[in-house]
Amino acid sequence: MNDQPNELWQWTAADLALAIRQKRVSSREAVESCFARIDAVNPRVNALVSVQRDDAMRAAEAADRALASGEATGVLHGVPVTTKVNVDQKGLPTTNGVVAFAGNVAPSDSPVVRNLRNAGAILIGRSNAPAFSLRWYTDNDLHGRTLNPWRADRTPGGSSGGAAVAVALGMCAIGHGTDGGGSIRYPAFCTGTVGLRPSWGRIPSFNETVPVERPLSMQLVVVQGAITRSVEDARVALTAMSAGDARDPWWVPAPLEWPPAHAPLRVAVCIDPAEVGVHPAVEAQILAASKMLEEAGYLVETAAPPDVGAAAAAWNEFVQGEGILTAGSHVARYGDSDAKRAFELMAQRTPRNDTAAHIRVAASRATYLRKWQAFMERYPLVLCPVAMEPALPYGVDTESAGSVERLFRSHTFLLATSLIGLPSISVPCGTADGVPVGVQIVGPRFREDLVLAAAQCIEECVGRIVPTEPVFQRT
């Protein structure tokens, strides 16, 4: 470890895990450092909605005893991690940010939580999410609003905004998140962290607290993943989370390690193929990142993957269209006022398809994925925006039909890549207007290794830009 910070809460998960294995620090010390950090900054940003101090300290002490006795250790042995409130953790409520679900206590761990425990992670707290995890803002009547530590008037992203802010400020080394329309990558983009959306089928998913199966669009689009402060930690988190679980019939036993790719790899640089408009700062970072990759030995060319705008529109018809039928009544009955308003405005721009049209748009997912896979035979990697604008002002999704249209235009690439289920990562590159700006790298199915390697090249050029303190005073 070179130039390692003194405070353990500042360390990466990989460095912490190594130091704990080598008995240079203890898990107890790492967890205590994170708790002290939580006490110092969480009241200012409201990223974590509960902290499991007693359970975490017992688990840390058990991890240290296991290491002392020579037991085998996992890749995250002794490392502090948080979990999102929309995933089951045994004995704790899966609130999903909804007041009516405050007592929805999970009888078992979800697969991703079980995998984290099996990898040795110490689960220290629960991160905030919007009601029903359906907004790109993190606010709800049960837990309150999570603030972006860069600018309080800008969104920290959603729905994994609590996880991103907790990671950015050092409350944990890794924050678990979920992504069905950018909910890992967008919060990472907004907070200057790294957000990896794995391939669909890579990490198993299931919540026993949900009484019925999720709608088909949710099964085919939503994935589990992590937000971290480094690309290396994204790789470690993926390793820890991706073990199989019989409760998820969609899980795929694909390898994490592949034979070395034939170099040099081609990268398609694509800025605004759907012509929705791009902020100059976003465009500038894409161009800067393309030069970084070119200098690292990649063949960088300007090329547009197929049907980006159409795939984003299909996401809306498939996911939001199905959501109107399956979730609309629950949002109306249990949602807070902002959740209802956001859902209403999103629904207004969603076509009301009949059964035949819904079947067609669901089937089109295969068409778009097929076209992208053909494109990726020449260009295995795509460098593109995460969002077309830097972190948006608070409340854009509840203001008007026009503001929601702005939101969806900005999220064109997030929605298109979510629909087709390819691995993609948001990696920070700089700042603009007081908030971070990053880029997105998309790769072929189950080739997270290629995505991570390219992101590592960018990180090595840029460095890590997460703040160590919130830059505002909470009023």
Q: Read off the pLDDT of residues 409-439 as tens digits, 9 standing for 90 and up.
A: 999 999 999 999 999 999 999 999 999 999 9
**CATH assignment of the domain containing 89:** 3.90.1300.10
Work out the pLDDT band at 23, boundaries 50, 70, 90: very high
Query: For the chain, what is the mean pLDDT?
Result: 97
Reply yes or no on whether 159 is catalytic.
Answer: yes
| pLDDT, mean of residues 161-168 | 98
What is the bridge-based pairing of β-strands 299-302 and 266-269?
parallel
The DSSP output letter for 131 is G
424-432 vs 194-197, strand pairing mode: antiparallel
In a domain, 391, yes or no: yes
**What's the first-to-final CA gap in the chain, in angstroms?**
39
Could you tell me if residue 467 is inside a domain? no
Q: Is 70 exceeded by the pLDDT of residue 288?
A: yes
Integer Cα distance of 147 and 159 in angstroms: 13
Q: How many domains does the chain have?
A: 1
Domain span holding position 185: 8-462
Whole-angstrom distance, CA of residue 268 vs CA of residue 302: 6
470 in any annotated domain: no
Given the residues 26, 133, 160, 183, the one annotated as active site = 183
| Residue 361 predicted with pLDDT over 50 | yes
Q: Is the entire prediction scored with pTM above 0.95?
A: yes
pLDDT the model gives residue 262: 85
Identify whether 473 is part of a domain. Answer: no
**Residue 84 appears among annotated catalytic residues:** yes
CA diameter of the chain: 62
Residue 112 lies in a domain: yes
d(CA 210, CA 87): 10
Check 159, 242, 290, 418 and give the catalytic one. Answer: 159
Give the residue-averaged pLDDT of 272-287.
98
Residue 26 annotated in active site: no
Distance CA 384, CA 377 (A): 18
The three-state secondary structure class of 280 is helix
> CA–CA distance from 17 to each of 26, 61, 444 (Å)?
10, 15, 29
Does 92 map to a domain?
yes
- The catalytic residue among 26, 27, 33, 84 is 84
Q: Is 205 helix (H, G, I), strand (E, B) or coil?
A: coil
